[in-house]
Copies of this chain bind each other. A is one copy, B any other.
């Protein structure tokens, strides 16, 4: 018990409140969805897995690496940590059911910070109709948030990265490039435009689009955490196919165009390479369902991702098509 209460009268840090005090505080009054059969407070939680299978994934976020508490509120960090995991569940074609949170943080972390983090985790879990069902809090030198998300496939087969077939349409759902644009703005010391900075702080993955894509017959799917081209690269390798993306298929949002002009960056570069928006990209044998935008095609060939038939150099200034 590294965080036991030395000064119970001063309950403003993790050290003073203690692990159990903190857990009691951040779980009090939360309502759980129906899938939570047994919530926090025991050795383990029990979560419904109605079709006899559970989808599970873990992502870890570290202060100073994946977020900065001077750029984001604790609530935004909590939402981002939850979103990264919930999007992975959606990318399997599954519906999220539950989160578990492993939190390591300095003993002098203010309780308000941890409450904000917990609020963010609950908020984002709620958006995806999932509950926060368990976790652990320990002492460390740096804030580390490890989130595990669970989900249900509702009787369907999981949509993996390996099912893309030549002739499939590549389509995306959700925002691309917004988080990268926001990061570029923050990195230059600005705090606006609020829309792009906010997108970096809190992604908005289109959770229901994952199961919808599965129902529509998606052959492969992944969430865009490292960048569209990088993540499509995982699909290309796992499926053994060549993926060609058409740059003209992307409508560059006016706000990203504005920011790109101000910073001297072709915004299409953000769309193609920016991560952390957690859009979904999938392949479909036919036209993609409503809400998805076709942006490319799957072909036979050595596993790789091309843009307009060529290798993407990563240097937008050298990419003629991008100069607009």
Binding site for B on A (CB under 8 A): 1-2, 37-38, 41-62, 65-66, 88-89, 91-92, 94, 98, 100-104, 133-142, 144, 146-151, 153, 158, 160-162, 221-223, 226, 238
A316 to B151 CA separation, bound complex (whole angstroms)? 48
- Chain B residue with Cβ nearest A47: B54
A38 to B134 CA separation, bound complex (whole angstroms)? 24
- Chain B residue with Cβ nearest A158: B46
> Are the CB atoms of B55 and A104 closer together than 8 Å?
no
A104-B62 contact given A49-B53, A52-B52, A142-B141, CB 8 Å threshold: yes
- Option from B65, B138, B150, B226 in Cβ contact (under 8 Å) with A140: B65
> Are the CB atoms of A102 and B100 closer together than 8 Å?
no
> Are the CB atoms of A223 and B43 closer together than 8 Å?
yes
Distance from A273 Cβ to chain B, minimum over Cβ atoms (Å) = 12
- Option from B56, B138, B147 in Cβ contact (under 8 Å) with A44: B56
Can you list 13 A-B contacts (CB < 8 A)? A43-B57, A43-B223, A44-B151, A48-B53, A49-B49, A50-B52, A58-B102, A60-B102, A62-B138, A65-B139, A66-B138, A104-B104, A148-B148
> Are the CB atoms of A44 and B104 closer together than 8 Å?
no
> Are the CB atoms of B94 and A58 closer together than 8 Å?
no
A62-B140 contact given A46-B153, A146-B146, A158-B38, CB 8 Å threshold: yes
> Are the CB atoms of A56 and B141 closer together than 8 Å?
no
Residues of chain B lying within 8 A (CB to CB) of residue A92: 42-44, 46
Residues of chain B lying within 8 A (CB to CB) of residue A56: 44-47, 56, 98, 100, 133-134, 148, 150
Distance from A121 Cβ to chain B, minimum over Cβ atoms (Å) = 13
- Chain B residue with Cβ nearest A161: B42
Residues of chain B lying within 8 A (CB to CB) of residue A52: 48-52
Residues of chain B lying within 8 A (CB to CB) of residue A58: 100-102, 134-136, 146, 148
Residues of chain B lying within 8 A (CB to CB) of residue A238: 41-42
A42-B238, A44-B89, A59-B102 are known contacts; what are 12 more A-B pairs with Cβ within 8 Å?
A2-B62, A41-B161, A41-B238, A43-B92, A43-B222, A44-B149, A44-B151, A47-B53, A58-B100, A60-B136, A102-B102, A146-B146
- Option from B54, B134, B161 in Cβ contact (under 8 Å) with A57: B134
- Chain B residue with Cβ nearest A280: B43
Distance from A206 Cβ to chain B, minimum over Cβ atoms (Å) = 14
Residues of chain B lying within 8 A (CB to CB) of residue A153: 46
